[in-house]
Amino acid sequence: MSSLKAESLKDRAAIVGVGKTPQGKVPGSTQLSLATGAFTAALEDSGLDKSEIDGLLTFPGTTAPEGPLNYLRVAETLGIDPAYTGSMSMGGGTAGALVQMAAMAVANGMATNVACVFGDAAKTGGSRFNRASGWGDSWGIWGMMGAAANSAIAASRHMALYGTTSEQLGEVAVACRRHASLNPDAVMRKPITIEDHQASRWIVEPLHLLDCCLISDGGVCVIVTSAERARARDLKQPPVFISGMGQAYTSRTLERPDWWYVPHQKDALDRAYAMAGVGPSDIDVAQLYDNFTISVLLWLEHAGFCGVGEAGPYVEGGRIQLGGDLPVNTAGGNLSESYMEGWLHIVEGVRQLRGDGGERQVDGAEVCLVTGRGMTLNCSNAMILSKDGLK
C-alpha cells in the first residue's frame, strides 16, 4: 500500500560524517560527555561547520539521567538550536530508526544536516541490562531476567527445530573476533577458536559467555544530509547513500507464537530491499546486529542468504569471515568491537563503502546491508547503504 511512496525515499539522503569516542572502559565518562565527544568527532569527519547542523536526534542509552529529554541536554551542551529534534529509545533498534528518521527529515526538507547521537556509560556508569524482562519486570518471578534470556529462548528453539549447534553459534563469535583483531579500535582483539567458545562458561544455556556481546562505554555519531547536498561533492568525505530503509516491530511478545524467531525482521529487510531494488545477491558486506550470536543466524535467514533453519550450516567454514562469501561484522560487531547497541555497525558500513576499512576492507565493496534490533526482540530495522546510489 505504502511501498510506492517509500520507494521515493531511495537515495534521497546520505551519510557524510561518522565519529566515535574511545570504546570499552572510559573512566570518568558520562552519557553526555560520550555523546558530545562523538558529535565533535563526526563533525570533524564531515567537514561541516557546527552552524550547519540543523537537526539533532539522540538515543539516551541506559545511563542518561534525563532519559527521553536527552535531546535537550545534548543540544544545550553543544550549543545547537535545531530545526528538528527528539530522542528515541528502542535499545539496539534505535540507531537505524534514528538514521532513517534523519533521512526522512532531510529528504522532505525538515532539516539539511541531521546529527544522530548516542552515548552510554554502561560499563562505568552502571547499566540496567540486568533487569527482568516483561512490563514492570513481571517475568522476574520466574527468574527470567537479564539481556541474554530472550536470545537464549530463540537459540534453544532454533536448535530444537533445526538442529543448530552451539559450535555453529561459535562460528559467529570466531568471525567477529577475527575481524576485531584487524580493527585497532576494537575492545576485544585476541583471536578465539571454537574450542575457546565451547570452553567459555554458561551464561544462560544454550548461550556461553562468548555468545554474548560486551558491555561498553562509548559514544557514536552519524551525520545525515540530503542527496542534493551530498552530490555537490563539496564535503570532506565521499558520501554514502541510504538506498533502502525498512523497519518492522512487534510488541506482541507472548501473543505471537513465532515471536522467538523475530519474523518481523524479515519484513524490515524486505522493505529495505524493495526500496533499494536489490536482493541478497547484491550485498557485498553485511553489518548484522549481534547482541548474541544467535541473532546473526536469524538475520542471515530473514535476509535470504539461506533458508529458514539453514543458518547454522551456512556459517560453517568461515563463510561470514573476510574472504568468505559474505563478510559479516567486519569491525568485530557488538560481540568484539564494542557494544554500541548497533551504532558502530552503521559506522563500519560507511567505512567499508568509503574504502577506509584498512586491513579489514572488503575489496570493491559497493553495497552494504546494516541491521538493528532492540528491546525484547521487538524493534527491527534494515538499511541498504551504497557507494554511489543505486540505479
Figure out which of the listed residues 69, 160, 199, 232 binds another protein, where binding follows CB under 8 A. 160
Figure out which of the listed residues 157, 189, 231, 354 binds another protein, where binding follows CB under 8 A. 157
Shortest Cβ 149–another protein spacing (Å):
6
Contact 179, 331 (CB under 8 A): yes
Phi/psi zone of residue 11: left (φ > 0), alpha (ψ -120 to 50 degrees), beta? Answer: left
Shortest Cβ 129–another protein spacing (Å):
9
Query: Is residue 231 helix, strand or coil?
Result: helix
**Cα distances (Å, whole numbers) of residue 60 to 87, 99, 350:** 7, 15, 23
Per CB under 8 A, the segment of 94-102, 134-142, 214-222, 335-343 that binds another protein is: 134-142
Applying the rule CB under 8 A, the residues between 200 and 219 that interact with another protein are 201-206
| Cβ neighbourhood burial of 236 (10 Å; 0-12, 13-18, 19+) | exposed
Name the residue among 18, 23, 22 with its Cα closest to residue 39. Answer: 18
Figure out which of the listed residues 79, 143, 184, 364 binds another protein, where binding follows CB under 8 A. 143
Shortest Cβ 62–another protein spacing (Å):
15
Contact 330, 179 (CB under 8 A): yes
Distance CA 88, CA 68 (A): 7
| Cβ proximity to another protein, 169 vs 240, nearer residue | 169
Residues 6+ apart with CB under 8 A from 340: 20, 23, 95, 118, 120, 216, 218, 220, 334
- The helix (run of H) or strand (run of E) holding residue 67 is none
Per CB under 8 A, the segment of 127-135, 286-294, 307-315, 335-343 that binds another protein is: 127-135
Is 111 one of the binding residues for another protein (CB under 8 A)? no
Is 110 one of the binding residues for another protein (CB under 8 A)? no
Name the residue among 348, 48, 76, 257 with its Cα closest to residue 58. Answer: 76
Shortest Cβ 88–another protein spacing (Å):
24
From the candidates 71, 162, 289, 314, give the one annotated as an active-site residue: 289
| Cβ proximity to another protein, 292 vs 299, nearer residue | 292
Query: Angle at Cα 359 formed by Cα 358 and Cα 360, nearest 5°?
Result: 90
Distance CA 234, CA 196 (A): 48
| Cβ proximity to another protein, 127 vs 380, nearer residue | 127
| Cβ proximity to another protein, 98 vs 153, nearer residue | 153
Name the residue among 350, 335, 125 with its Cα closest to residue 221. Answer: 350
Amino acid at 323: G
Applying the rule CB under 8 A, the residues between 249 and 268 that interact with another protein are 252, 254-255, 257, 260
Shortest Cβ 260–another protein spacing (Å):
6
Shortest Cβ 304–another protein spacing (Å):
25
Written as nine digits, the cell of 37 is 565527544
Figure out which of the listed residues 149, 188, 215, 278 binds another protein, where binding follows CB under 8 A. 149
Site string for another protein, 161-200 (x = CB under 8 A): x---------------------------------------
Contact 42, 81 (CB under 8 A): no
| Cβ proximity to another protein, 130 vs 281, nearer residue | 130
Distance CA 316, CA 310 (A): 11
Distance CA 139, CA 164 (A): 27
Figure out which of the listed residues 110, 132, 274, 308 binds another protein, where binding follows CB under 8 A. 132
Active site residue 289: yes
Residue ranges in contact with another protein by CB under 8 A: 130, 132, 134-146, 148-149, 152-154, 156-157, 160-161, 201-206, 252, 254-255, 257, 260
Residues known to be catalytic = 289, 339
